[in-house]
């Protein structure tokens, strides 16, 4: 995938992905330092960062299963929530590949016997893998159906 230089370019790529997979998509935008999730110390009514830039964050929710939401941060990374499992610090450029892996059924859950635990495994191109611990209380039917 090409480099996604802005939050808006990433949103455009996610809209195309939703269209490809026949999924509904809902996008909300937070623009300004006083609106974005990582700028809580900016103060009320402060729209720009100290360098004069206007931070832009977007929250994207996809319809269907698995339940997936993406928060695109202005710092070129994202938080992807898959069925309640939060995957932090995903590089913005990896978000489309991460979602394709989910929607194509390549992602799975690995069970560990000792100590007991479950991990969401999301393969990415180039033999890269993203792995996130799943608390037992979050093991939804969709996640449970993918245990290996």
In this predicted model, what pLDDT tens digit does every residue of 94-118 receive, in sequence order?
999 999 999 999 999 999 888 878 9
Give pLDDT tens digits for 3-15. Answer: 667 888 899 999 9
pLDDT at 3: 65
Enumerate the domain spans of the chain.
7-104
Give the integer Cα–Cα distance in Å for 11 and 60. 8
Kindly report the pTM of this predicted structure: 0.83
Each residue of 64-99: pLDDT tens digit? Answer: 999 999 999 888 889 999 999 999 999 999 999 999
Q: What is the mean pLDDT of residues 40-53?
A: 49
- Distance, CA of 133 to CA of 24 (rounded, Å): 27
């Amino acid at each position: 995938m090409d480099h996604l230089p802005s939050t808006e370019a990433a949103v455009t790529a996610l809209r195309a992905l939703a269209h490809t997979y026949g999924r509904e998509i809902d996008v909300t935008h937070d623009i300004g330092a006083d609106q974005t999730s990582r700028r809580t110390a900016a103060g009320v009514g402060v729209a720009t960062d100290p360098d004069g830039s206007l931070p832009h964050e977007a929250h994207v929710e996809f319809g269907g299963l698995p339940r997936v939401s993406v928060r695109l941060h202005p710092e070129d990374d994202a938080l992807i929530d898959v069925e309640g499992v939060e995957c932090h610090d995903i590089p913005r450029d990896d978000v489309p590949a991460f979602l394709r892996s989910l929607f194509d059924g390549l992602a799975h859950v690995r069970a560990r016997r000792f100590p007991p635990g479950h991990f969401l495994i999301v393969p990415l191109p180039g033999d890269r893998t993203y792995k996130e611990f799943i608390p037992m209380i979050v093991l939804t039917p969709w996640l449970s159906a993918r245990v290996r």
